[in-house]
Structure 1
Amino acid sequence: MVTKNKKLKVLARNLRKDMTLSETLLWQYLRKGQMLGYRFRRQEVIGNYIVDFFCRKLRLAIEIDGSSHDEKYELDMKRQREIESYGITVLRFSDKEVKENIESVLRGIEVWIRSSTLPAN
């Protein structure tokens, strides 16, 4: 089990109230189990970080990287490695990709889910 940094709870709540356009667009397809029946939460605290979207059952985090991430590649990778150390997969999409080609983003998420939930032979 991942220990949550309780200090981030208020920040996550504020981020949910002030989502970016790309987060809002993607949320329309992830909310209420619309993504193949899986429930996602937005702005979820995982350890010392907040991820944009998280499905506990799939152990899947989805991150949308805006232009502010261009200069923070090393920091983002450190953050991702820590999240992955909890057994969580992180899928990353660019802000531009979500805004300009949401169908491709949704297809990528669906492909990951279907390939990760195939029954073992």
Structure 2
Amino acid sequence: MQLKWIRARQLRNKSTDAERRLWYFLCREQLAGHKFRRQYPLAGYIVDFVCMPARLVIELDGGQHLDALAYDGRRTATLEREGYRLLRFWNDDVLLRTQDVLAEVFRVLEERSKA
């Protein structure tokens, strides 16, 4: 378990442009007071972003994920079995259509808050 925390710290220190951009909006509870963590160990994986109370995971995908579809599928299934909703966005969507991405995240947060 300790290795996951060390790896998570390394990933936080080497964030992609898309991760930094989304984190700017997710940190400091800017989305209706919802608190997110980034590069957080969860269910045997390290997720890009998670809102624990809403049980919402956000993953950002670059081109390398085209070669990892089976792995991503297993990862998604594991997180969903643990009760998490997973949202995936392409890096380009975060960088070029930030407001659309934030609107979808907010919509799902509101949906999960009512459930």
Query: Normalised by the shorter chain, which TM-score bucket?
Result: over 0.9
Stretch moving more, 32-41 or 5-14: 5-14
| CA RMSD between the two structures | 1.0
Q: TM-score, normalised by structure 1?
A: 0.91
Give the number of equivalent residue pairs: 115
Could you list the structure 1 runs, at least 4 aligned residues long, displaced by more than 4 angstroms after superposition. Answer: none
- Give the one of 23, 29, 39 matched to 2:25: 29
Matched, 1:71 2:67: yes
For structure 2, the 5+ residue unaligned runs are none
For structure 1, the 5+ residue unaligned runs are none
Cα distance in structure 1, aligned partners of 2:111 and 2:55: 14
SS in 1 for 2:2: coil
Of all paired residues, the percent bearing the same amino acid is 34
Question: What does 1:5-20 align with in structure 2 at a 5 Å threshold?
Answer: 5-20=1-16
As a proportion of its length, which structure holds more helix? 2
Cα distance in structure 2, aligned partners of 1:78 and 1:90: 12
SS in 2 for 1:37: coil
Deviation string for 1:49-98 (max 9, x for gaps)? Answer: 00000111111110000100011111101111011111111111001101
Rg larger in 1 or in 2?
Answer: 1
Cα distance in structure 2, aligned partners of 1:95 and 1:70: 13
How many Å apart are 1:113 and its aligned residue?
A: 1.1
- Give the one of 95, 98, 103 matched to 1:102: 98
